[in-house]
A and B are shown apart, each in its own frame.
Chain A
Amino acid sequence: MSKAFRLPHQQYHTLKERALHPFRSSTFDILQAVDDVNVEIAQGEFFGIIGRNGSGKSTLLKCMAGIYDIDAGRLEVRGRLSPFIELGVGFNMDLTARDNVMINAIMLGLTRKQARQRFDEIIAFAELEDFLDLRLKNYSSGMTVRLAFSVAIQVDAEVLLIDEVLAVGDANFQQKCFDEFQRLKKAGRTILFVTHDMSAIERFCDRAMLLEKGKMLALGEPTAIARRYNELNFGRTVHSHAPETEIEREEQRREVAIVDAWFENTGGERIPAIACGEPCRACVEVHFNSDLEDPIFGFTIRNDVGATIFATTTALDHGPTGSFKAGQTVIVRLDFANWLCPSRYNLTPSIARAGMGADAIDIREDITSLVVHSGHFTGGVVNLPHTFELVRGPAGRPA
């Protein structure tokens, strides 16, 4: 019943890039590809490993697969491991699909007899009955991957390690693969996989781990980990404050000037990115150079193709703002339910004089931006709060 899968405590891996000169001492750099990762994975668990390129995911997987040796720490695997970490390993492009299936099955650890017995099943799953005697080099990449996947799932391993494979084939075959994963999951197999596909992580994994520069940043519930990953990815690149010089332009000449604008979370922290659905706040800081009665503060949010998604002003939703004295500063906060779909959004704040005429005193186009991320991409612009209800009619009668 229980065949726990553990790889606890301190696991180091060093890649030595050696510059070798004959008969001279060698020089090398040390890259700590996996640094002190400590995790225990239970039997039957679906475990996802995510991280940016070069974060050590594949190295970790290779260590677990017994392809690389570890430098320090301990690594323990209970149960038979699948020998492959990638699909199509050992495929020979000059041989026919028939030969390749047999060879691949033997590499997986099947005997010749078992491979022959399962041959039809493998081909049927891959839906490649008509292309059996075609050489693999004439296969499309999708067909090759289908064949590889079909062989790979025949493995009798208790622990499967998979590097980037979920996005294989067309939609129909992908569904078959997902079903197959569910079947493996039900059968109590332990599966570890590396991917960049956050929806796969959220869909299949019981737990996930986020790696960055070889270190384990986070470990836990997949949705939270996927969110951390997105933050890591976008947080670094999008932190945009408009250049200082532009902020300072003509500040003195205007009656009133927008000094700064930003997005923040409900905790008041400035953020460059946020997860879809998390409440959010747009803020603008305004400095008054002269007295002003009931100015109107406006906010416009546009998406990355420039379409206005949402616009409002204090005149519409707040009412009179009161009087401000010269030298005074004010921060205007706009709390909004974040129904935005994943994209980059730009904020354009504006200030206008009271009255009906749109008499803008200051407006700053796209002064700051916010990336909304999520594991799912629906193609929509907003994600309206919604619930489903199915109202069935009475049972129909055959016509």
Chain B
Amino acid sequence: MARVAPDPETVSRRHAPSAVGGDLRRFWNLTFTLASTDFRMTYFGSALGYLWSLMQPLLYFSVLYVVFTKIFKVQTNPPVKHYAVYMLTGIILWTFFLQTTSTSVQCLLAREGLLRKMRFPRLVVPLAVALTALFQLGMNFIAVILFAVISGLTPRVSWLELPVLVVLMAILAVGTGMILSCLYIRYRDIAPIWAVAAQILFYGSPVIYTAAKYPGGFVRIALCNPIAAINTQMEHAFVDPTAHSAATVIGGGIRLAIPLGIIFGVFALGLWFFHREAPRIAENL
């Protein structure tokens, strides 16, 4: 048997599992397959099936809507135009963030069977979680658009900003998800900690109220919270063009670099952390 020089492409010296791997097409195929299977399985076997995924945020929205408009009357001072649409959109965006991050916490453990028996880029797991949530978000947005049109909103060009905001939200959610999933392997306490932290983040961010509710001097600091910035911009671009844009509220477009920096910083940190942990994920589970 003649010994031919091996194809350098197929020689793998660094043999440990990696975060991303070399084959991007396989990476994407795997992520998509896991995500779409998960999405299909979520409401599999329930009588109403997909309707549940619509009803969950809608019911949640209804409860919060009644509480905050009839009891706390948050929409009156200062008045918020199309408060219902604003709140529903905010809740749906938040649901996406919450679903991605809280599912990410235990996603590696949930995929233990795969992680221990199969060689594949580890990042597929949290990314598939985000993609599943993104499918859900896409479906929910159909409801949001319908609701907006029924409420008397007319489609505008600035609605095209919505996908950009979703992408920013997704980057933040995936970044957080990567950090949480790796931390969970070391500290199982992360699950309850994140449950509490997410609640604080939800009520601390302008989702069921608007940024205008913050006391005057505090609002610029509050808008450094990426979720606050995204939601404020969402109100301006989608719900009410007369509402202030995020750039105005934070006091100048240049300051938007702070929430944007946090979004990309969290993502970069998550990527670095996940990349560092990837080779040992299977054995540390």
- Chain A CB within 8 A of B1 CB: yes
Taking a contact as CB atoms under 8 Å apart, the answer to whether A22 and B187 are in contact is yes
Pair count A-B, CB < 8 A: 108
Taking a contact as CB atoms under 8 Å apart, the answer to whether A70 and B16 are in contact is yes
Q: Which residues of B contact A4 (CB under 8 A)?
A: 3, 6
- Chain B CB within 8 A of A68 CB: yes
- Chain A CB within 8 A of B33 CB: yes
Provide a sorted-by-A list of 11 A–B residue pairs whose CB atoms are within 8 angstroms: A2-B2, A15-B283, A16-B283, A20-B186, A66-B119, A67-B115, A74-B13, A78-B10, A89-B118, A90-B114, A103-B37
CB distance from A13 to the nearest CB of B (A): 8
Taking a contact as CB atoms under 8 Å apart, the answer to whether B2 and A3 are in contact is no
Taking a contact as CB atoms under 8 Å apart, the answer to whether B279 and A86 are in contact is no
- Chain B CB within 8 A of A121 CB: no
Taking a contact as CB atoms under 8 Å apart, the answer to whether B30 and A92 are in contact is no
Taking a contact as CB atoms under 8 Å apart, the answer to whether A89 and B113 are in contact is yes
Taking a contact as CB atoms under 8 Å apart, the answer to whether A107 and B33 are in contact is yes
Chain A residues at the B interface, C-beta cutoff of 8 Å: 1-4, 15-16, 18, 20, 22, 43, 62-70, 74-81, 83-86, 89-90, 92, 94-95, 99, 103, 106-107, 109, 111-112, 158
For A15, the closest partner residue in chain B by CB is: B283
Per-residue CB proximity of B199-230 to A under 8 Å, as 1/0? 00000000000000000000000000000000
Known A-B contacts A84-B118, A89-B113; A67 and B282 likewise in contact (beta carbons under 8 Å): yes
Known A-B contacts A80-B10, A90-B113, A90-B114; A2 and B3 likewise in contact (beta carbons under 8 Å): yes
Q: Which residues of B contact A65 (CB under 8 A)?
A: 119
Looking at chain B, what size class is its interface with the partner chain?
35 or more
CB distance from B188 to the nearest CB of A (A): 8
CB distance from A162 to the nearest CB of B (A): 12
Q: Which residues of A contact B284 (CB under 8 A)?
A: 16, 18
Q: Specify which of B13, B16, B30, B41 is in contact with A107 (CB 8 Å cutoff).
A: B30
- Chain A CB within 8 A of B117 CB: yes
Q: Which residues of A contact B16 (CB under 8 A)?
A: 66, 68-70
Taking a contact as CB atoms under 8 Å apart, the answer to whether A76 and B12 are in contact is yes
Taking a contact as CB atoms under 8 Å apart, the answer to whether A3 and B10 are in contact is yes
Known A-B contacts A2-B3, A66-B15, A106-B29; A20 and B41 likewise in contact (beta carbons under 8 Å): no
Known A-B contacts A77-B15, A103-B33; A67 and B10 likewise in contact (beta carbons under 8 Å): no
For A104, the closest partner residue in chain B by CB is: B33
CB distance from A103 to the nearest CB of B (A): 6
